[in-house]
Amino acid sequence: MSDLVARLRRHQWRMTPQRRVIAEMLDGAHVHYTADEILERACEHMPEISRATVYNTLNEMVALGEVAELNFDGRSKRYDPNVDHDHHHLICDGCGTTRDVHTTADPLDGLPGDERHGFTVTEASITFRGRCPDCVDAG
């Protein structure tokens, strides 16, 4: 039983085979998939699962606060189950692969009071960009 499935049960969420496949795929992943990648992999276990169910399920997980929705490039959203671990993201400009990374410093400490323009600042997230090993090799 995956940790994410357990957390979702606690929300009195009706468990179905489709939801279980999606939750088990997300659980523990430090690479964040798009909805279509999740659909493609889910189809290997459950060929008749629909695109609508994948989107419905992901949106419900986000609404329950158990999964975070990421969007860096204006293309596909990616889904991140690691909501309880404070971290940032490293993205490949070639293929869009998105990984969790951990930094030594809190970026909020680098924003002086006179740069806050009167805002109440609650969150800071860093997006690192570059080329993954595969995309560097491919030129």
Which positions touch Mn ion (CB under 5 A)?
80, 82, 100
38 touches 54 (CB < 8 A): yes
Does residue 37 belong to the site contacting Zn ion (CB under 5 A)?
no
Region binding Zn ion by CB under 5 A among candidate stretches 19-27, 53-61, 64-72, 87-95: 87-95
What is the C-alpha to C-alpha distance for residues 81 and 136, in angstroms, rounded to an integer? 28
Classify 50 as helix, strand or coil. Answer: coil
Find the binder of a copy of itself among 47, 84, 113, 117 (CB under 8 A).
117
Residues in 94-133 that interact with Zn ion by CB under 5 A: 94-95, 97, 132
Over the window 58 to 97, marking each residue x when it contacts a copy of itself by CB under 8 A and - when it does not, the resulting string is: -----------x-xxxx-xx------------x-x-----
Q: Which residues neighbour 132 within 8 Å (Cβ) at sequence distance 6 or greater?
A: 92, 94, 95, 97
- Termini Cα distance of the chain: 41
Find the binder of DNA among 1, 10, 44, 71 (CB under 7 A).
71
